[in-house]
Chains A and B, each alone.
Chain A
Amino acid sequence: MSRLSSLFLSIALLFLSAWLGIVVYSYLQLGRLTSFAGSDGVLPPDFSGRAILGAQVYAANGCVTCHSQQIRQTSVTRSDIDRGWGKRPSVARDYLRDRTAFLGTMRIGPDLSNVGLRLSDPLWHYQHLYEPDRIVPGSTMPSVRYLFKLQKIQGQPSEEAIPLVGSYAPQQGYEVIPTEDAKNLVTYLLSLKHDYTLPEVSPDVTPTP
């Protein structure tokens, strides 16, 4: 019996070391980071209510499966910044405003950390979500047409109708308008921008390794 208890104890101690080192440390240190009160307001800036709902749409549809949200810049790589995906590497404090940090493991699509800076036109996003292949030829992104509704034009065409010309374009007399989910999602995407500076990181400066 003493052998079982000593085996059990050694297993528990080995697990505990990493649990304390990684989980508890992160919880106590990174989890207690606060936003930074800079001269131009609180950083990172809070999401609007609509953007928070948009993040839920982002989660529900598993966008993180293909899109990362982290800009890497180390002594050996700066291609993220060269590609124009960001101006500076991401730091822990950037994720303070996220309920779930969509860091991602795959880049089947481009990184979205700063998509709101790179592509700031909401109409582009609506068209792209509806028919990605026409807006970006060669894209492997699936259409999320289910976030839009097709309706018959009654009287004047709706102001919200999305101009479409591809194979998914509605037939004569019909129009495609975004649902609330689509509007929330686009608001969220447009608010993804790390254009502010934090004390621990500034553009084009590698953070201490």
Chain B
Amino acid sequence: MNSISRTQSTINLTEPAPLHSVTRAAIDGSLRFPMALWVRGSVFWLLVGSLLSLVAAFKLVVPSFLDGPSFLTYGRLFPVATDLLLYGWATQLGIGVSLWLMARLCGSPLRHTSLLTCAIILWNVAIFLGSLAILCGYSTSVEWLEYPNWASFLLFLSFLLIGVWVVLLFSVRQSCVLYVSQWYLLAAFCSFPWIYATANRLLTWGVIEGSAQGPIHWWYGGNLINLWFTPLALGLGYYIIPKITGGIIANYYLAILGFFSLLLFAAWSGSAALIGGPIPAWMMSAGVVATVLMMIPMVAVVLNFYKMLQGHYVAIVESPALRFTVVGIISYIIFTTLSFFNAIPSFNATLHFTDYTSGRTMLALLGFLSMILFGAIYYILPRLTGIEWPSSSLIRWHFWLATVGVSLMIFSMIFGGVIEGIALEDAAISFVNVLSYAAPWRWLVVFSWILLLFSYGAFARLLLTMRWEAASLQFKYKV
């Protein structure tokens, strides 16, 4: 008896617990409507955010383009576009997809979803009104926290409301062991309200002395990527990869190492963005050391993923979910490596304040998390609705345009950023000349935004052709 239960628990530790088909149908049924809102809302903001990013990128090379009205000036348009991608798209869909995943892993359907629906609507209303407010000149001008106080408060409130369901799921969960994905998602859902509330409280809701704002601001920026985006994406990866390849986690202890080292180092890594800045020297050193050590969780996770994927190359080619996930993981490797170089003080002196810095962020957002989120949608929606993806050519367009677009964008921003940085270091080169060195690379960024817009357009088209309402009817008859 004892040995049987032990074997059972060993299996459960290294692969997602299998569910009875009735439970699975109940979970999917309970999440169908909230999920439709999340997917449609976030893809809408993805399209709007990408369009505004394209306009902003174009304004960077042709500054006279649409420069008349105040609400279209670069300094307002660019933050709105970035925030839409960060909160309207990635954060919103990340929340939705992880709630589905948690329900599956906890083995319990969601209850009282009408209140959850209100929370999702609240989130989207806050994003919409907050973006309008920034365009009208009510920005807080704190990077990534530009939404005015009432809008960021509504976002926080909406997140807390959604968090109630996470607590509910964990309190009624069926399986007693926690799978790796659950660790990551739990960490992500603890960290976001913590960092968002702290940063807003100190930087926008009640502003503290300017001298203390720098470290807190970059603590937030680093953590948003390393403690919110990263655990979300890795949690999804740990679920999707073994589900599709049919494997189990290759090395359980490596997974533990990867998880705890990520939490430990990520939380300290933000201040590497202020090397040479007005912060205490020990804080810079802590940031540098933590960012360099972030290679450890990356290698641990990637080794595990690699072993799970080994020998499943046909699945990678055939399953869109796996293909997107693999591109996301490759982006994660490149992102961590770029962060590593950015944290070495002598490189940082050259690379900071150039397109390298923003290219790194775009890679984390559009390459790492977004690709894994796309993969998750390709995995989840057919299971949720019971219908297969209608067009494989649209999926191919989506995948290739997104991959080529992100690669081209990151290549131009990184390479252009290095050239800019070297030129900036040489005081004999005038600033306007530095701009002329950057210009060709910035044109390539404009071009890659066009590719991305087409890619996301293909994805939106694909979602529109999927008839959810019809699918839910079919589903009722089936059950």
Contact = CB atoms under 8 A, between A and B. Distances in A.
A82 B63 contact: no
Interface in B211-228: 211-217, 219, 227
A62 B260 contact: no
Given A19-B198, A31-B211, A79-B424, A61 B75 contact: yes
A98 B210 contact: yes
Interface string A1-20: 10110011011101101110
B301 interface: no
Nearest to A82: B427
A3 to B, nearest CB: 6
A10 B260 contact: yes
Contact of A62 (B79, B198, B350, B435): B79
- Per DSSP, chain B at the interface is helix
Interface string A85-104: 00001111111111111111
A65 B186 contact: no
Given A27-B202, A108-B60, A22 B275 contact: no
B289 interface: no
B435 A139 contact: yes
A84 B433 CA distance: 16
Nearest to B223: A18
Contacts of A79: 424-427
B218 to A, nearest CB: 9
B210 A60 contact: no
A29 B283 CA distance: 13
Contacts of A4: 170, 178
Interface in A164-209: 208-209
Nearest to A57: B137
Interface stretch (B353-361, B362-370, B445-453): B353-361
A94 B78 contact: no
B216 A27 contact: yes
A70 interface: yes
Interface residue range, chain A: 35 or more
Contact of A93 (B177, B211, B271, B273): B211
Contacts of B469: none
B349 A77 contact: yes
Interface string A142-180: 111111000000000000000000000000000000000
Contacts, number: 242
A23 interface: yes
A92 B426 contact: no
Nearest to A60: B137
Contact of A33 (B69, B194, B209): B209
Contacts of B215: 22-23, 26, 30
Interface residue range, chain B: 35 or more
Contact of A100 (B70, B142, B194): B142
A15 B212 CA distance: 20
Residue of A19, A108, A132 most packed against chain B (CB within 10 A): A108
Contacts of A143: 63-64, 67
Given A74-B276, A92-B278, A62 B141 contact: yes
A146 B178 contact: no
A89 B78 contact: no
Given A22-B219, A22-B268, A65-B75, A146 B141 contact: no
B435 A31 contact: no
B179 to A, nearest CB: 11
A54 B191 CA distance: 36
Contacts of B260: 10, 14
B286 A21 contact: yes
A62 B139 contact: yes
Contacts of B74: 62, 65-66, 142
Interface in A22-65: 22-23, 25-27, 29-33, 58-65
Contacts of A17: 264, 267-268
Given A11-B186, A77-B276, 15 more contacts: A30-B211, A30-B279, A33-B211, A61-B137, A62-B75, A64-B75, A64-B141, A64-B143, A74-B276, A103-B217, A103-B274, A105-B352, A105-B357, A143-B64, A144-B70
6 contacts: A19-B198, A61-B75, A62-B75, A66-B74, A93-B211, A103-B277
